[in-house]
Amino acid sequence: MRIQPRQQILGIWRSLLTACYSDGAWEWGGRGGSNSISDAEQLLCLLYPATEIDGFALDRPEHIADDVRAVLAPLGAGWRIGENIVDILEQYIDRYTEVVEVNAETKKDLPVFAAGSYLTATGGAYPTDAQRGLDVVDSYSMSLTLCLAALKFLRSFHGPIAELASRRIRDAVELAPRIQDLDARINTRLTAAMVGLVRSFVVQTVTPESAEGQAMLSMLNQTGAPDDAVVEAVWHRLERVRVRLRNDVTLSKTPGVDLYAEGLLFECGWSWSMVREAAPIDFVDMPIAETPGYAVARPYLHFTVVALDGINDLTSARTRELDLLDDQQRRLAEALQLRWDLAQRYWSAVARFGSGRWPLEDIPWRTSDGEESDYFSLSVSAVLMQDLLNREASDDDLTRAAPIFDELARRGRVISRVTEGDPARAMHTPGVHLRLFGSEELGGPMLAWTVSDYATVLLKRTLQAARLSGNMDTRDELLALAQTTMDHLDRRAFRDGPVGLWDDPCRIFGGEQILEPSWYLTERVVECLVAAARMYGEPPLRSPALVVRAMELLTEAEHLLNRELLELSERDVSSNRTALALVEQRLQRARRLIDERPGTALSLVTQALLELDELAYARSDATRSM
């Protein structure tokens, strides 16, 4: 299936409004019920493309594209579309904010990040009410992305509304202060989400002899070298990351970590929530800045990828250009960017460690707690791609990464046939269960977090790799894999009930059909389409050989043009002068495009050469007839 971001996003928007918006009311909840994460995902299906792709922008009513206007007709026309989005955002903030009365005159917003119905219990038990109120890193990361998208929309939309208000249009006069109040409340939630992410970052050190150390060495040691030699090599390879973790990470440091002792292995990333004994953040006046956490101080690959994706939105050029953050948030953003950089460097180095086979090529990946899964290999690949995307990537790395994505697609039955009793089915439905160590301290069973986004993670990272690749063969392979993965996802879209939304895995893997939309997977499909739009928005891959060929033909064409002009009389106003003027325009445009789009330049030069040859032939034919 060809990936067509515009048509497919518009199709999702049409289906979203059909499923969620009726008689002027937004219906919350999907598969598994309503919670702070699911409702944010539901909103982001609409808001993320609208704030990341210029062609979908909704903040300037007069510039909304006709096809977008037609799809969003249920929300109204013109600035009424934005007014209804403001109303939906207000509902979300009201649902997930506790308003506490400080005194008779002052009230304070306390953002709620409870994962609620997304949390399940192990061993057939049920989570307690206290456990359902736990935050997870997904809560913080998804809120981070939602708040940034909302602020981008609100601050741009406020301009035209303020203009309408100045003309005494009553509804606009009432809407302008609502936008300002909503902006402030979303800012509060953004700060809290950033604090949660800072306090969820962890560093773990282990001895090579421990069970955790042996699990790590089993991945790092791909050549059968002595453990001491591998530990020493890892120590030197990760020295810069270790020194920066020791010296630069000063805000809410992980307690009890020794980054000085030689001979220890370490790993860093995000745990499932704020870690126990995480130090308070003294410059933020919010309960989340000092509330004790429950998560163990051990990185989880899934939550590390989720955190990195959210922080990537925070550190994007678009966020900086719009100056969305206040001074307090900038300080938190600097802390998160440091952790973002160190986590990416760590996992990117670990994935490619050694001089032989990469640990990442040894599928499935084994985590430090001894768990193995193809999903973990995909998670490490995701961090590697994000790291390569943010620094100079070599074609050698991308050429080696392409077969890994292909292998993961086959093992995950994304591009290969599902067999009877296939264990790969569980990665998609119900998904990979991650045990949340520390959650049992609230007096209930140990909780689990289920991840079922294997196909969308594969698609997003494949598109990122294709965007980076400078090798045409590798890019073609990656794009072919991306299109096949999109085929897989298209087969899982609903054909009944909420048509055009996700997820209906029984169409591929069998099992019971549930006719409720999964905003978890639908939002991740939208992320993939936005990633595809970004890739298509960049200049096409240029072939050096094509540049040389185009330049050779351009040189010949310009020479022939000059010869024709030399023989043309100044008083000649015939069609020949018009034809030569057109040829000259083609060649001038070809010269401008030759570095960026050599294929287009080659086509223009070829057309100009044909026209020059026709003129030369016509002149010689006329000479023979005389």
Q: pLDDT tens-digit profile of 369-391?
A: 999 999 999 999 999 988 887 77
| Tens of pLDDT, residues 241-251 | 999 999 888 88
What is the predicted pLDDT for the residue at 604? Answer: 92
Tell which wins on pLDDT, 400 or 220: 220
pTM of the model: 0.89
Over the stretch 409-453, which tens digit does the pLDDT of each residue have?
999 999 999 988 899 999 999 999 999 999 999 888 999 999 999
From CA 626, how far away is CA 622, in angstroms rounded?
Answer: 7
**Spatial CB neighbours of 261, under 8 Å, sequence gap ≥ 6:** 205
pLDDT higher than 60, residue 571? no
The pLDDT score that the predictor gives to residue 573 is 54
Provide the pLDDT for residue 495.
92
SS3 labels along 449-492: EEECCHHHHHHHHHHHHHHHCCCHHHHHHHHHHHHHHHHHHHHC
pLDDT digits (tens, 9 = 90+) for 349-366: 999 998 889 999 999 999
Q: Which amino acid is at 417?
A: R
Residue 491: pLDDT over 80: yes
pLDDT surpasses 60 at 625: no
pLDDT of 31 over the 60 cut:
yes
Long-range interactions of 499-502: CB distance < 8 A, separation 24+: 499/15, 499/18, 500/11, 500/12, 500/14, 500/15, 501/12, 501/15, 501/16, 501/19
Picking from 236, 233, 212, the residue whose alpha carbon sits closest to that of residue 223 is 233
Average pLDDT over residues 63-86: 94
The mean pLDDT of the chain is 91
Residue with tokens 């990122």: 464
Least confident residue range of 78-87, 101-110, 607-616: 101-110
Neighbours of 575 (CB within 10 A): 10
User: Minimum mean pLDDT among 6-10, 145-149, 419-423: which range?
Assistant: 419-423
Kindly indicate the confidence band of residue 626, based on its pLDDT and cuts at 50, 70 and 90. low
pLDDT confidence bin for 467, thresholds 50/70/90? confident
Strands, E assignment, 219-279: 265-270
Phi-psi map region of 443: left, alpha, beta (phi>0 left; psi -120 to 50 alpha)? left
The answer to whether 69 and 77 have CB atoms below 8 angstroms apart is yes
Give buried/exposed letters for 252-280 (b at 16+ CB in 10 A, else e): bebeebebeeeebbbbbbbbbbbbeebbe
Nearest to 47 by CA among 149, 141, 144: 149
Residue that is written with structure tokens 């325009």 in the block? 585
In order of 142, 475, 518, the CA distances from 457 in angstroms are 16, 18, 16
Evaluated on CA atoms 157, 519, 314, 199, the torsion sign reads positive
User: Of all residues in the chain, what percent carry a pLDDT higher than 70?
Assistant: 97
Per-residue pLDDT tens over the stretch 497-554: 899 999 999 999 988 888 899 999 999 999 999 999 999 988 777 777 888 888 889 9
| 364 to 65, 204, 219, 231, 485: CA distances (angstroms) | 46, 22, 10, 22, 20
Domain map (residue ranges) of the chain: 5-536, 547-625
SS3 290: coil
In the structure, what pLDDT confidence band is assigned to residue 102 with cuts at 50, 70 and 90?
low
Instruction: Tell which residue, 579, 583, 522, 587, has the closest CA to residue 554.
Output: 587
Confidence of residue 228 (pLDDT cuts 50, 70, 90): very high
What does the pLDDT read at residue 445? 93
